[in-house]
Every structure is written in structure tokens, then in C-alpha cells.
Amino acid sequence: MSGYIQYYGLSENPFDISPDPEFFFPSESHREILSSLLYVVKERKGFMLVVGEDGIGKTVLINRLIKFLDKNVTTVYFRQGNLTFEHMLKEILIKLKLPLGRIIKGTMLHQLNEYLIQNLVRGNNLILIIDEAQDISKDVMEELRLISNLETSTSKLLQIIFVGQPKTETKLNTRELRQLKQRIGTIGRITRLSPAESMEYIDHRLLNAGCNSDSVFSPDALALICKYAGGLPRKINILCHNALFKGFKRSEKPIPASTVRKIRNENNLLAGKPTGDTANGGKLKLRFLFAKINAWLKRSLYFCLTAGCIMIAVFLGKEYLNKILKIQQPGTSLKPPAVSEEVITKAPVMEEIATKDPVIWADSVKNTHVASSEFDQLAPGHSKSTDSPKPSVTSAKTKVRYKRIVSIGQGANLSSLILNNYNQVNTTLMDFIMAFNPNIANPDLILIDQEIRIPEITESNLIAESSDGSIRAHLGTFSTNKEALKYKNFISITDHEIEIIPLKVSPDETWFRVMAGPFTNKENCLMTIQAFRQRGLLPAFNKISKM
């Protein structure tokens, strides 16, 4: 290799297939996606997906992004996706130089949550980049969605960039990952290089290595390389590298088309029929011109549609739009009005690339203080999934102490309220809030100015009593049946049955309550609750052991 570098007057190997950001070529799609990535990171927009076929330049694009990021941005880069969620958490903590302590999912999540909140206060940002995202299991993707719940009214505390082949998008379109797909605000699809861009790509890499394409390849050789590679940068690199090696051995300067044809046939490079048209100089220029005209037409149409939407919005009037949006809907993040206190809340979900819908933004959650008032009250549950008498969360006659009552401001949601009051977010706490507030019919849909009671969580609150008088312990509530079923492994902690109760909380979402019992009295039930808590198995207290 060193021989052909010296022979062709190069300073280094210009066609190494390693993803060197210094050789990044800004094709139209690469350039647009890089700009989108930088914007998403700067504005803390949450999830982004970058897709492209194998060898199209995804990894070099990500390496280029990392090179451009500000010093206040910390990046954790996973180069493969076939990892467990616990392994990812461990690697994140190591990268952030946080003490590992016990290698337990619940403990590691707690450490990460605390770090993210402090990170925001310091004005810093954390990004997870996961390459080969098509290999991420659906369970891990769902876990990643859950840890993304930490956010403020203007930004995410954690940003995640998925990078993978087109089948990544196919996986995200499945029913199980519907909620995650809705949170991906921007999708960047890398396209193959045009014949003109392929020519420019070769020249770009040779110039970076101290030479130019005219002195190394004949015009016919360049055209043939572009034809065989079909717009894939990795294939261009392989062909050019092998052509340089063969040309050096044959003392060819410039390298002719016959050598390119020979190395492809001899080494069976790029197996399969090449894509793309024959690319002589005139045709390349013509195709490049057509591509530019097509891009200009697309931008013009986009501008006209945007302008039309704005005119319609103005015509309808601000008051009418406010009435339509009185119930909060996902929208694009715009800069909210200044608030006196930052409230951890859920940023609206963006549609792919962007949405043009008007947005109602969040004020601070308005506090109507109830100075730790006590209510001797029976808080109803909200299970709708069974006809037989089942225990309702917090249904035992106990004295409930409320932290406060809040009135919902624009932009807030259950996750934000829970994080703000309990310093953690999980399905169990959401279940409790809904049980104490039967006016919440859907966890994803809260009315503006709706008052919500925030109860204190105690061990006694986990005692649930059915209408038939039976007593059970509420061990936790989970978003998937798989998580709930793991508690069947801990039946040795209690002498009583562990039951999974499906809980329909919205038309398209079901939670799963884990209940132990029945018990003859509340004292025995409380002892079981304490036993599970001591083992770190009660998510209400954020001590979830690895199972």
C-alpha cells in the first residue's frame, strides 16, 4: 500500500474504508442530515433516527457530528446495537465517570437520573448514539423510551440518536414500538450519491490526500468506477483502492478503464449487478443539473405549502385556534414564554422532520397549596379489565396525606408532575396518581386547568382492599406484561399468590398490576410489602433490583 501512495504522490491512503471524519464528503443528503443532527442536539429535541443502507456513510457522518459538537456536550457512542439495557446503563455510567456501586438496573437508573438533572443545571448536554440500531431488541428500545421521559418544558435531559439500516425504521413501525416512533421528531434518510456526486467524492478524497483525480484516473476509469459502485461510498473506496494497487504494480499513470474492469472481474468485487447508468462527462453534468432542478422544485413546493398554512392560521384567528387546542396535543417545540420556575414536563412530540401545527406552550404548573392537608378518604381505582372483584390501588381505608394539589398549566403531563414531586418517573407512580384522581381517564391526555391531587407514597398506601373485603399488596405496575411476570420469580418472599392484573388505561395502552395476596389482615400484608421493599423490589420507592 505504501508503494502506491508514494507512486501517485499521495500523503496517505485516500480510500481507507475506516470512517475517518476528515474525509467526510458533504453530499446533499449527508449535509442536510448533519445540519439536522446539529440542530436537534443544540435545541435538545430528544430522539432522532438516521437510516441508510450498508456502506452509505452513516458512521463517518456520526464521527463528523461528534467532531463538531460543543465542549458542553458529552457523547456516549455505542458502535453496535445488540446489547442489553443493563450493559448500556453500565457503559453510560463508566463513560460519565459515575460510581458503579451495585450493578442493578434500578440503582443505575437512579444515578443516571440524578446526573441528568445536575447536568441540565450546569448547562451541559448528554447524547446517546447507538449505531447498528437495527440490531437493538424491542425490549431495549422500550427501555430507552422510558428513560427519555426526563425532560423540561423546553428541552430533553437526554437525547438519543439511532443510526441503522432501513430495517430499523421497519422495526419502529411495529405496534409494540408505536409510542417510541411517535417520539422520534426527525428522521434522516441518507441516499446514494448521484453520478456527479460520485465523481466529486473521488476527487474530494484524493485532494485531501494531496492529489487530484485527473492525475490518477482517466475519465473513462472514473466513469466506470462510478457505474460499478452505484453511489455507495464504501464500494467506491474498495474499487479505487484496488485500482490504485493494480495500477501501481503495472506502472499506470493515469489508471485506465481497462484496469478498473479487470480488478472488478478478477477479484469478483461488488458481487451482483451494479446499479447506475453509464457515466461519461456530458451525461454526468446533465444528471447533476436535473438533480439540482428537482431539489429546487421540492423546496419551492415546501415553501408554498408552509406559507399557505400560515395564511389559513391567521385567517382563522388566534382565539379559534386556542379553543381547538384547549386539550393538549403533541406539536413542534417552539420557544415557550418565560416562566418563574422551570418545571420538569413533557416536551410535545414532533412529527417526522417538523410539523406546522400551532402549539400551545406550557406555563409553570400552578400550585394551589394544600399545606400537607390530610383527607380521610377512600381513593377509587381505575381498573376496567375484569368483572370479578379485584383490589383497587389505595382502596383500603387509610388516612391519606397529600403533598399538594396542582392545577395543570399548558404543556404539562403526568410524567412531569411525577418527576417534579417524587424525583423519579415510573408506571407504578402514574398508576397511583390516576387512582387518587379518577377524573384522569387517559394518562396521555390531561386538560388544562385540571386539578390533580399529589399523594404521599407510604408502605400503607400499597395495601389494597377489594369490594369483597379481601386484602392484597400492590407490588408495582408495569407497562409490559413481561416486566410484571418477573415477579412470579419472587413468590418465595411471600406465602401468598402473586397475580398479574391487566389494566386498560387508554384505548391503545394496557398496564399490568402485580398484586400479592389475599391476606387475612393488613398487618400480614404490610409485612410482605416491607419484605419486598427491603429487597429493592418496590418501584414506588425506586429500588428496583435486576431481575
What is the grid cell recorded at 186?
426527525
pLDDT value at residue 287: 44
- pLDDT band at residue 50 under the 50/70/90 scheme: very high
Beta-bridge partners for 258: none
- Angle at which helices 233-249 and 257-267 pack, to 10 degrees? 110
What is the grid cell recorded at 453?
391531587
Tell me the C-alpha distance between 411 and 364, whole Å: 9
Q: Where are the domains of the chain?
A: 2-18+193-271, 28-189, 366-544
19 neighbors 260 (Cβ within 8 angstroms): no
Give the architecture (CATH level 2) of 2-18+193-271.
Answer: Orthogonal Bundle (1.10)
Closest by Cα among 332, 324, 336, 325 to 361: 336
C-alpha separations of 100 from 157, 363, 456, 541 in Å? 21, 37, 30, 20
Backbone angles phi, psi at 494, to 5 degrees: -130, 150
Query: Which amino acid, 84?
Result: T
Closest by Cα among 329, 392, 338 to 364: 338
pLDDT per position as a tens digit, 202-235? 999 999 888 887 889 999 999 999 999 999 999 9
- pLDDT band at residue 113 under the 50/70/90 scheme: confident
Q: Which position has the higher pLDDT, 481 or 423?
A: 481
Contact residues for 96 (Cβ-Cβ < 8 A; gap 6+): 74, 76, 115, 126
Tell me the C-alpha distance between 8 and 15, whole Å: 13
435 neighbors 392 (Cβ within 8 angstroms): yes
Closest by Cα among 350, 36, 23, 45 to 190: 36
Half-sphere exposure of 203 (CA within 13 A, CB side): 13
pLDDT per position as a tens digit, 353-388? 222 222 222 232 333 333 333 333 333 344 434 444
Secondary structure of 484-516 in HEC code, one letter for each residue = HHHHHHHHHHCCCEEEEEEEEEECCEEEEEEEE
- Place domain 28-189 in its CATH homologous superfamily: P-loop containing nucleotide triphosphate hydrolases (3.40.50.300)
Sign of CA dihedral 470, 476, 477, 483: negative
C-alpha separations of 270 from 95, 96, 236, 261, 264 in Å? 38, 41, 10, 12, 7
Query: Which amino acid, 46?
Result: G
Q: Are strands 159-164 and 47-51 parallel, antiparallel or unpaired?
A: parallel
Q: Which position has the higher pLDDT, 500 or 505?
A: 500
Backbone angles phi, psi at 425, to 5 degrees: -135, 125
pLDDT per position as a tens digit, 247-257? 999 999 899 99
What is the grid cell recorded at 72?
458542553
238 neighbors 269 (Cβ within 8 angstroms): yes
Backbone angles phi, psi at 141, to 5 degrees: -60, -40
Q: What is the largest CA-CA distance in the chain?
A: 94
Tell me the C-alpha distance between 316 and 322, whole Å: 11
- pLDDT band at residue 199 under the 50/70/90 scheme: very high
Q: Please spell the DSSP secondary structure of 143-193, one letter per residue.
A: HHHHHTT-BBSS-BSSEEEEEE-THHHHHHTSGGGHHHHHHEEEEEEPPPP
pLDDT per position as a tens digit, 400-425? 566 677 776 655 567 767 777 777 77
pLDDT per position as a tens digit, 93-110? 999 998 877 778 888 888
**Helix residue spans in 250-339 (DSSP H):** 257-267, 281-316, 318-324
Tell me the C-alpha distance between 229 and 282, whole Å: 19
pLDDT surpasses 90 at 166: yes
pLDDT value at residue 282: 45
- pLDDT band at residue 474 under the 50/70/90 scheme: very high
What b/e readout covers 88-124, taking b as 16+ CB neighbours within 10 angstroms?
bbbebbeeeeeeeeeebbbbbbbbbbebbeebbeeee
- Mean pLDDT over 16-36 rounds to 89
Range of weakest confidence among 121-135, 137-151, 348-362, 487-501: 348-362
Whole-model pTM? Answer: 0.52
pLDDT per position as a tens digit, 51-90? 999 999 999 999 999 988 888 899 999 999 999 999 999 9
Query: Which amino acid, 395?
Result: S
CB-CB neighbours of 215 under 10 Å: 11
**Helix residue spans in 75-147 (DSSP H):** 85-95, 105-121, 138-147
Contact residues for 309 (Cβ-Cβ < 8 A; gap 6+): 356
- pLDDT band at residue 186 under the 50/70/90 scheme: confident
